[in-house]
Amino acid sequence: GKKEGRGTYRFFQSAMDLELKERAQLESELRAAIEGGQIEPFYQPVVSLPHQDLVGVEVLARWRHPIRGLLTPDQFIAAAEETGMIAELSCRLLRQACLDAREWPSHLRLAVNIAPQQFQDRWLAERILAILTETGFPPNRLEVEITETALVQDLEATRATLTSLQNLGVRIALDDFGTGYSSLYHLRELRFDKLKIDRSYVDSITMSEERAKLVDAIIKLGTSLGLTTTAEGIETAASVEWLSGQGCDYGQGYLFGAPMPKEAIDRILVAPADA
């Protein structure tokens, strides 16, 4: 009847109010967190295949929230992107990562995720160069990861930014390959250095022969276009063996190490001073 109808309406209304309130609170907390240094870089090992030598780390954002504990990107990156705070967040993260990396072996690469909209910023390459210069981190040890979503925005602006970064010596990886669209067109049009095969594909290689064939085709495609290939989300030794056999160049996943804070990666990378 009428009564329940109105009750339902009120219920939805207040649920919406609550959602808006929570969102507003998240945004103001996030702004303070970025400025207060609560967003910190975690590092996940990237290894070469088949020998599994450590070749670099990917920087993954974590929010050390004073009350809610350690938050993962799915809890705040979307909000950071929608409010434009992502630019400040990733600048600070990159600066911190470059500082942390000073104690690591000098052949190790640093890979950072840059949000699609940031490639529309015509000063992105300059901003990144300023951080590299300030921290003394060489551009040729930096990799920028970009998802296909960036390519369906303003392709010309994105292309210009990618070229500027490559002119500095920064490498560009196409992230989450296979989850977006127009991949083949973009692979041909933009001169990426690396292709990262999404975890959903890597997961599926053990499930069926058809799926394994698809991953094999992606590896061959990348290789034939002169790109190196990285498989994401490797969790089993069987996957490593298969991927290596198909010619995949690099691997990343819990099998080699989950994303970890500076202190933990330092224990792997920094030799004790008086050993």
d(CA 217, CA 56): 25
DSSP three-state, residue 89: helix
Binding mask 225-264 for Ca ion (x = CB under 5 A): -------x--------------------------------
Q: How far is the C-alpha of 84 from the C-alpha of 269, rounded, in Å?
A: 34
Neighbours of 167 (CB within 10 A): 10
The count of chain residues that interact with Ca ion, using the rule CB under 5 A, is 5
Neighbours of 199 (CB within 10 A): 18
Q: Return d(Cα 115, Cα 104) in angstroms, integer.
A: 26
One-letter amino acid of 258: A
The only residue of 50, 52, 64, 73 in contact with ligand C2E, by rule CB under 6 A: 73
Name residues contacting ligand C2E, limited to 235-264 (CB under 6 A): 235, 252-254, 259
The one-character DSSP state at 226 is T
Residue 233 found at the interface with ligand C2E (CB under 6 A):
yes
Q: Which is nearer to ligand C2E, 44 or 166 (CB)?
A: 44
Q: Is 176 in the site for Ca ion (CB under 5 A)?
A: yes
DSSP label at residue 246? T
Q: What, of Ca ion, ligand C2E, none, does residue 115 touch, CB below 5 to 8 Å by kind?
A: ligand C2E
C-beta of residue 137 within 8 angstroms of C-beta of residue 178: no
Rounded least distance, CB 218 to ligand C2E, Å: 15
CB atoms within 10 A of CB 111: 25
Q: Establish if 77 lies at the interface with ligand C2E (CB under 6 A).
A: yes
Token pair for 142: 């930096």
Task: Retrieve residue 51's tokens.
Answer: 């020998």
**Residue 19 token pair:** 């959602």
Would you give the binding string for ligand C2E spanning residues 112-141, x where CB under 6 A is met?
-x-x--------------------------
Stretch that binds Ca ion, among 27-35, 95-103, 105-113, 267-275 (CB under 5 A): 105-113
175 makes contact with ligand C2E (CB under 6 A): yes
Interaction of residue 28 with ligand C2E, rule CB under 6 A: no
- Residue 193 near residue 250, CB atoms below 8 Å: no
Q: Under the criterion CB under 5 A, does residue 113 sit at the interface with Ca ion?
A: yes
CA 244 to chain centre: 23
Query: Least separation, in Å, of the C-beta of 44 and ligand C2E?
Result: 6
Do 262 and 93 meet the contact criterion of CB atoms below 8 Å apart? Answer: no
Which one of residues 145, 148, 203, 249 is an interface residue with Ca ion (CB under 5 A)?
145
Q: Quick check: helix, strand or coil at residue 38?
A: coil
Q: Give the interface segment with ligand C2E, choosing from 27-35, 128-136, 216-224, 231-239 (CB under 6 A).
A: 231-239
Binding range to Ca ion, per CB under 5 A, among 32-40, 68-76, 116-124, 141-149: 141-149
| Interacting residues toward ligand C2E by CB under 6 A | 44, 60-61, 72-73, 77, 86, 90, 93, 113, 115, 175-176, 199, 232-235, 252-254, 259
Residue numbers of the site for Ca ion (CB under 5 A)?
Answer: 113, 145, 175-176, 232
